[in-house]
Amino acid sequence: MTKRNKNIALIFGFALMVIIAYQFAFAETLRLRKSHMKLEQEQLAFENTPQRISILKQKERYYDSILNANNIGSSSLQNELLKTLSSFDAANDLKVSAFVAPHIFNEKDYKVITYSFSVTGSFNNIQKLLYHIEQKTAFGELVNVHYTKKRDFRRRRNYLEAAVLLRRFER
């Protein structure tokens, strides 16, 4: 056998030994290490569970206090919104001209509820109402406000109407 053939056989044998060693020792070690890392992560998740539960309870108390502060009881949110609109309208010379049933859209793990209503009155009073709804209450966020100048032909007067979309997310 020549030196060239011996070197080729040596390289081939070494490569074969590396493959066999990987199959019997290294592959099993790497699989066990991956399994160990996964179990450690699960253990950390279970260790944090009591702490996360207490944080969630604190958040629940906080959100309940916000709901109580904004006078949102257990009745439906649509009724509360309508009550707020009615009380604000009486005090600020506004009129609710339309209040449509809410549109409910289900996403993966939450619902998107969109309330649509129209208000007529002066621009400043409508702005006060919108500020009150968005900042002082927790009904949701104003998505769209569309102002339209309309004409009342019987009285020969122009008036301003605002179509409002209010969006709320629920679980």
Per-residue pLDDT, 75: 54
Question: How far, in Å, are 33, 95, 135, 144, 148 from residue 85 at the CA level?
Answer: 62, 9, 14, 17, 19
Q: What is the pLDDT of residues 94-128, one digit of tens each?
A: 998 898 888 888 888 888 889 999 999 889 999 99
User: What tokens appear for 17 in the block?
Assistant: 């030994």
User: Does the predicted model carry a pTM greater than 0.95?
Assistant: no
**Residue 24 pLDDT more than 70?**
yes
**Res. 72 pLDDT band, cuts 50 70 90:** low
Can you tell me the distance from the alpha carbon of 43 to that of 138, in angstroms, rounded to the nearest whole number? 38
CB 165 within 8 A of CB 144: yes
What phi and psi, each to the nearest 5 degrees, are found at residue 89? -65, -40
**Residue 145 pLDDT more than 70?**
yes
Q: Residue 108, SS3?
A: coil
Q: What is the pLDDT of residues 51-69, one digit of tens each?
A: 888 888 898 888 777 767 6
